[in-house]
Amino acid sequence: MCRCRSRRGRRGRSWAPKAEALRADDAALHHRLLSIRDAAGLPEEISVLRVFDVIIWMDGKNRGRGIGSDLER
């Protein structure tokens, strides 16, 4: 129970930098994520935030396996 509460607190604080990143440079990241979603053939029902979440998760997973990051390219 306590673990869930602490996670909620972290999520609230961690959202601001993500929101800023999605709005920065005339929403360049937002538009890039839309392009990735389209290139992957995903429907519009899949949100940009979900695309972002999966990319970050895959990057972290690959780094844990010692595989270089595609985000650095």
Whether 30 and 38 have beta carbons less than 8 Å apart is answered as: no
For residue 21, the 8-state DSSP code is H
Per-residue pLDDT of the chain (73 residues; tens, 9 = 90+): 334 444 555 555 677 888 898 999 999 999 999 999 999 999 999 999 999 989 988 888 877 777 666 655 5
Question: What is the pTM assigned to this prediction?
Answer: 0.66
Residue 62 has what pLDDT? 74
User: How many CB atoms neighbour CB 27 within 10 A?
Assistant: 14
